[in-house]
Structure 1
Amino acid sequence: MPNATDRRILRQLLADPDQPATRLAERAGVTGATLSRRLEKMRSTGTIVGQQARIDWRKLGYEVEVSLRFTLDKTNPRAFDEFTAAAREVPEVIEIQTFLGSVDFRLSVIARDMAHWQEVYRTRILTLPNVETSDALMLISTIKNSVELPL
């Protein structure tokens, strides 16, 4: 479990992941050696799992984002595995989540425009296996999208 020093490092790392290690150490109030040791420990324990680039899909020409909710036909014991495998093969699916409750899966799907969305929906989404019901929610705006944690 991270202690107070680790939490300071994590707060500063989340605030500016691209900052040089010297500035990160300074902002977290630790020496460079301490920073290095703590980061290595948090990586080895799985507290820090890699580093990722956050990409603004709209800047790459993807103007449409749709959240799709699915309930699967559970009479097929392989329904979840088959659905997951097929959904992973759709390049426009950028996120797959499973749920406990009335919804089994949620997919986030991006498309360049409405014509592209229609093509993806007709040829890739409607062909996903074992779907009992589905519901689509089109993203209008994002109010909050944060990776910050209450550290």
Structure 2
Amino acid sequence: MLDDLDRRILRHMQVDPAISIPDLADRLSLTTSRLTRRIEKLETLGIVRGQRAVIDWQALGYAVEVSLRVTLDKTNPRAFDDFIAAARDIPEVIEIQTFLGRVDVRLSVIALDMPHYQQIYRTRILSLPHIADIEALMHVARIKSEETLPI
């Protein structure tokens, strides 16, 4: 599906996502129109979904990260849909993942400090619908956080 040129384009875009089209075209020895067509093709195929800014939430003062493993009351057929819809409305929930197994959902929650986390937990998290069990894991260190793919 991807040829060598597509892979080279993707590698460069991963390393320097803010690179301009003309600069990337120069690095790849392509014309800007050919590079633009290739990038548009990668977008059409759903391989490139756009560019975004990666913001360091710790630099903004968020010092606490907690991973919550949630088991839902699956006797309610709307448990997943209701829970996820409500969890999306909590700004401090920065990631929601669903699983098959004992744990149904994992939430990543950030907070400014422990009192802020306790306030979020007590007023927002515990009011989420259909929770049967919840386990909190306090984040200590991020050893590897890489979004670059081995292309």
Q: Report the TM-score when normalising by structure 1.
A: 0.95
Uncovered stretches (5+) of structure 2, i.e. residues with no partner: none
Q: Distance in 2 between matches of 1:116 and 1:126?
A: 14
Q: Distance in 1 between matches of 2:136 and 2:12?
A: 37
Does residue 2 of structure 2 align to residue 2 of structure 1? yes
Q: Report the TM-score when normalising by structure 2.
A: 0.95
Does residue 60 of structure 2 align to residue 60 of structure 1? yes
What's the CA shift for 1:144?
Answer: 1.0
Uncovered stretches (5+) of structure 1, i.e. residues with no partner: none
Q: Distance in 1 between matches of 2:27 and 2:101?
A: 43
Q: Distance in 1 between matches of 2:97 and 2:49?
A: 19
What's the CA shift for 1:65?
Answer: 0.8
What's the CA shift for 1:61?
Answer: 1.1
Q: Distance in 2 between matches of 1:97 and 1:6?
A: 30
Q: Distance in 2 between matches of 1:15 and 1:35?
A: 17
Query: 1:65·1:111 contact (CA, 8 Å) conserved in 2?
Result: yes
**Paired residue for 1:91?**
91
For these two proteins, the number of residue pairs brought into alignment is: 151
**Paired residue for 1:117?**
117
Q: Distance in 2 between matches of 1:106 and 1:26?
A: 43
Query: Alignment RMSD, CA only?
Result: 1.2
Secondary structure of 1:27's aligned partner: helix
User: Identity over the aligned pairs, expressed in percent?
Assistant: 58
**Paired residue for 2:19?**
19
Q: Return closer, same or farther for 1:99/1:29 CA change in 2, 3 Å cut-off.
A: farther
Q: Distance in 2 between matches of 1:28 and 1:118?
A: 51
